[in-house]
Structure 1
Amino acid sequence: MEAKKFIDEKSDVLATYLDFFLMRKLSYSQLNHFLWETLREWDDLAIFDESTDSCKEQVFWFLLFELKNWSSQQIFANRILRQKLHTGALFLQGQGVKPYNCIGIRPITECLD
C-alpha cells in the first residue's frame, strides 16, 4: 500500500475516532489503541520518504502526534487544544480549514540494513 492510500484510509477513521473521543463516546484507551496500531501499520509499509504528500497528510500526523503527546485529562482541560483537534478532524473529513500552525511530519522508519 502506498503512503497516500494509507493516509486517505486512516484519515477517515482517525477523524471519526477523534470525534467520538471528544464527545466522550470513545475512551482514551480505545483511541490510543487505534493510534498505536496505525503507527505499527505505517512502520510495516517501510516508507523511507520523510516528506509529507499533502496538507491532509500533515494534519493526519499532527493529530496523531498531539493525541499521543497529551493525556485525556490534559485534552479535556484545554479548550484551545480541543478546538484545534476538532478543527483537524473536520479538515480530514473535507470540511473547514487546516488548523492554524498545524505542522505534521511523517514518523521516521528505521532502516536496519
Structure 2
Amino acid sequence: MLEPFIEQKSRQLIFYLSRFLRGHLPHRELHLFVWDTLEEWSQLRVKSWRPETLREQVFWYLLYQIEYWSEPELKQNAHIRRELRYCLSFLHGYGQLPCHCVGVRP
C-alpha cells in the first residue's frame, strides 16, 4: 500500500520539480502538487513517522525543501538548486544517496 504510493508520487515529483527547476512550471503548480500529495497521504492514515526506504526518505525531504524555501530562493539560490537536483537524481535511480537528506513522514 505505501510502496506504490511513494513510487507513483516520486515519479510525479521528479516530473514537477525538474520542470520547475528548468523554468517550465510555475511555483504555484509545484506548491499545489505538494499539498495534493499531503492530502492523499493523510487519507492513508499511516501512523509511523519513519520512512521504510531510503527513496521514501529522500522523497519526504524534497517535499519539505520545496515548502521550506521561498520561490525566489528555489529559483535563484545555486546551492539549493544543486541540492534539489542531487536528490532528484537519487529518486530517478542514477544518483547516490545524499548524505544530508533526513526526511521523515508528515
State the TM-score, normalizing by the size of structure 2.
0.96
Partner of 2:64: 65
Partner of 2:91: 92
Moved over 6 A (4+): none
Deviation, 1:87, is: 1.0
SS in 2 for 1:92: helix
Partner of 1:8: 7
Specify every segment of 5 or more residues in structure 2 that has no aligned partner in the other structure, as ranges: none
- Aligned residues between the structures: 106
- Per-residue CA deviation, residues 62-86 of structure 1 (Å, 9 max, x unaligned), is 0000001111101122111101101
Q: CA RMSD in A?
A: 0.9
Partner of 2:43: 44
Identical positions, percent: 37
Partner of 2:18: 19
Deviation, 1:50, is: 1.6
Q: Which amino acid letter does the alignment assign opposite residue 28 of structure 2?
A: S
Q: Measure, in 1, the Cα distance between the counterparts of 2:99 and 2:48.
A: 25
Q: Measure, in 2, the Cα distance between the counterparts of 1:74 and 1:94.
A: 26
SS in 2 for 1:81: helix
1:16–1:89 Cα contact (<8 Å) kept: no
More helix by share: 2
Q: Measure, in 1, the Cα distance between the counterparts of 2:101 and 2:67.
A: 15
Q: Measure, in 1, the Cα distance between the counterparts of 2:29 and 2:49.
A: 28
Q: Measure, in 1, the Cα distance between the counterparts of 2:98 and 2:78.
A: 14
- Per-residue CA deviation, residues 7-65 of structure 1 (Å, 9 max, x unaligned), is 01100100111100000000100010000000000001111122211110010000000
Q: Which has the larger radius of gyration?
A: 1
Q: Does 1:80 align with 2:67?
A: no
State the TM-score, normalizing by the size of structure 1.
0.90
